[in-house]
Structure 1
Amino acid sequence: MSQTATYSVRTVLKDGTPIQIRALRASDEADMLAAVARTGPQSLQNRFFILKRHFSEKERAFFMEVDFSNHVALAALAEEQGRYGIIGGGRYVVVEPGQAEMAFVVVDAWQGRGVGSLLLRHLTEIACEQGVRELTAEVLSDNGSMRNVFAKAGFKVARSDDPRTVRLSLSLGSARPD
């Protein structure tokens, strides 16, 4: 396991709310599932392209068993009702050498506050450090908020085989630090 497995930073949202962005841990499974339960149906459809509330054991294993090399996952945590809990997450999976696909989800109550942008920035920095040359994402065509997050980070529209989705791509040689 790389140093990425211990990744942890404290930062603030655009409204000044403090959050922590850190590596997803095996012990986070219950908190991650609780975050999914607090996420609305449209947000889950935007992430999984289908309405998804429950996960098979195989899917749960995939989400939780990250190696921080070919599969990197970060969790965003904030204080809610007196305890820190997961409010969002992002990950990338290397799909071929030098290329990784990203995905994000943010609990509805925390959307529009910069959580996704912060997760994207930190994942992009980790990807650069690990030698990933291109990041891609598939986003539903009508998911304007996530498309804007990617556009602000410099992602460009690439081809898509599915008319319901837009494929976005960022060459890390041209990534802009925020």
Structure 2
Amino acid sequence: TALQTADSDTLYRRFFTSRPKISDDTIAYLAEVDYRRRLALVAFASDGPIALARYEAETDPLEAEIAFVVSPDWRGLGIAQFLGQMLLDEAEANGMHRMIAYYLSTNDGAAGLLTRLGFVPDENEHGVTTAHRSLTGAE
């Protein structure tokens, strides 16, 4: 998967730790979707997966966290924005009212992506920024 082949920097930007152990159980969990509260989209190139975008509602059924991983060679090409917009559209169609994202405050790529997707930064705590976006028709 994209996570299993990701470099250390990519994993650090996604999981906020230097080299997390991506176990088979974690991969299975991330790949398991119900198409309503948990949805994942994967972009493929000829040699395999290059990007993963997913959302998941945890405690609040109307709010979901969105997250992205893009292989370094494929960054800056709009893949995450394309996948992100598809996820936002699906989340809204599935009744979500609010999306939330967490990213390292030093990750300018994530900040720019989320801004382009309509997210607004809320707070910055211990080097992690929280951003949110209300979905159309919500609130």
2:36·2:91 contact (CA, 8 Å) conserved in 1? no
Structure 1 residues without counterparts, runs of 5 or longer: 1-31
2:64 pairs with 96, 100, 107, which one? 100
Post-superposition Cα deviations, 1:86-129, rounded to whole Å, max 9, x if no partner, equal 11001000121210001100011101111111110110010011
- Mapped partners of 2:105, 2:90: distance in 1: 27
1:37·1:53 contact (CA, 8 Å) conserved in 2? no
1:145 aligns with 2:109: yes
The answer for the alignment partner of 2:51 in structure 1 is 88
- For residues 30-109 of structure 1, the aligned pairs below 5 Å read 32=1, 35-52=2-19, 54-80=21-47, 85-95=48-58, 96-109=60-73
CA gap of 1:56–1:79, structure 2 versus 1, over 3 A, is: closer
* TM superposition outliers: structure 1 runs of 4+ over 3 Å: none
Across the aligned residues of Structure 1 and Structure 2, the Cα RMSD in angstroms comes to: 1.8
1:45·1:51 contact (CA, 8 Å) conserved in 2? yes
Shift of 1:61: 2.5
Whichever residue aligns with residue 65 of structure 1, its letter is E
2:51·2:71 contact (CA, 8 Å) conserved in 1? yes
Percentage of matched positions with identical amino acids: 30
- Mapped partners of 1:78, 1:56: distance in 2: 24
The answer for the alignment partner of 2:123 in structure 1 is 159
SS at match of 1:173: coil
1:36·1:53 contact (CA, 8 Å) conserved in 2? no
2:4·2:22 contact (CA, 8 Å) conserved in 1? no
- Mapped partners of 1:94, 1:128: distance in 2: 12
SS at match of 1:97: coil
SS at match of 1:112: coil
2:43·2:49 contact (CA, 8 Å) conserved in 1? yes
CA gap of 1:90–1:132, structure 2 versus 1, over 3 A, is: same
Shift of 1:70: 1.3
Structure 2 residues without counterparts, runs of 5 or longer: none
CA gap of 1:113–1:122, structure 2 versus 1, over 3 A, is: same
The total of aligned residue pairs comes to 137
1:122 aligns with 2:86: yes
The answer for the alignment partner of 2:133 in structure 1 is 170
